């Protein structure tokens, strides 16, 4: 049985993962419309991953006799200025999510919920990886500069070890 505070903070995280997925979907769509095929593929894959994170949390809450609350959709921004600004936003968002995962760890410790504390470690590790992969993207983007965006767009998909995600 989940302590009430743990159930509440996990439900909050479900909402945040859902929003992450919607935000990256919106960025993917923006990038697609601007002709950045590689960037949009990367973001579509990222949006899928965030949805899987949300499902992971939903299943865990229900499995532990809690009640997972399925969030409503909050519309993310639709315009991102340019890819530099957009990836800065991705990194800021990932840092925010890492902070909220740390908060969950804190609540688990305060509530003596060592089962959830151990289970949430997967997310702790995942956030380290996600932050570092976005930082690598930003480094590459800065290295190539705004005159080499075609090359950046061509290479970005190889920076994540995943396959293509298709809406078909």
Residues making contact with ligand OFO (CB under 6 A): 17, 20, 50, 53, 94, 97, 126, 130
Rank residues 52 and 85 by Cβ distance to ligand OFO and give the closer one.
Answer: 52
- Using the CB atoms, write b or e for 43-69: b if 16+ within 10 Å: bbbbbbbbbebbebbbebbeebebebe
Rank residues 80 and 149 by Cβ distance to ligand OFO and give the closer one.
Answer: 80
**Min CB(97)–ligand OFO separation in Å:** 4
CA–CA separation, 23 and 65 (whole Å): 30
**Min CB(151)–ligand OFO separation in Å:** 26
**Min CB(40)–ligand OFO separation in Å:** 18
CA 87 → CA 2, 105, 116, 136, distances in Å? Answer: 36, 27, 31, 11
Rank residues 11 and 20 by Cβ distance to ligand OFO and give the closer one.
Answer: 20
- Given a contact cutoff of 8 angstroms between Cβ atoms, the answer to whether 159 and 136 are in contact is yes
Rank residues 56 and 140 by Cβ distance to ligand OFO and give the closer one.
Answer: 56
Tokens (6 digits) for 126: 């995942």
**Min CB(63)–ligand OFO separation in Å:** 19
- Given a contact cutoff of 8 angstroms between Cβ atoms, the answer to whether 103 and 109 are in contact is no
In sequence order, which ranges of 34-82 are alpha helices (DSSP H)? 37-63
**Min CB(133)–ligand OFO separation in Å:** 10
CA–CA separation, 145 and 151 (whole Å): 10
Rank residues 34 and 51 by Cβ distance to ligand OFO and give the closer one.
Answer: 51
């Amino acid at each position: 049985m989940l302590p009430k505070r743990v159930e509440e903070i996990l439900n909050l995280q479900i909402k945040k993962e859902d929003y992450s997925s919607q935000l990256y979907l919106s960025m993917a769509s923006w990038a697609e419309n601007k002709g950045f095929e590689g960037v949009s593929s990367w973001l579509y894959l990222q949006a899928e991953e965030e949805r899987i994170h949300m499902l992971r949390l939903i299943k865990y809450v229900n499995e532990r006799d809690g009640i997972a609350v399925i969030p409503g959709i909050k519309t993310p921004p639709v315009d991102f200025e340019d890819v530099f600004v957009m990836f800065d936003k991705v990194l800021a968002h990932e840092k925010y999510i890492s902070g909220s995962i740390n908060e969950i760890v804190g609540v688990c410790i305060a509530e003596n919920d060592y089962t959830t504390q151990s289970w949430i470690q997967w997310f702790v590790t995942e956030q380290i990886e996600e932050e570092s992969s976005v930082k690598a993207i930003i480094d590459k983007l800065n290295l190539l500069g705004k005159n080499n965006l075609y090359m950046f767009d061509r290479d970005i998909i190889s920076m994540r070890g995943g396959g293509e995600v298709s809406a078909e």
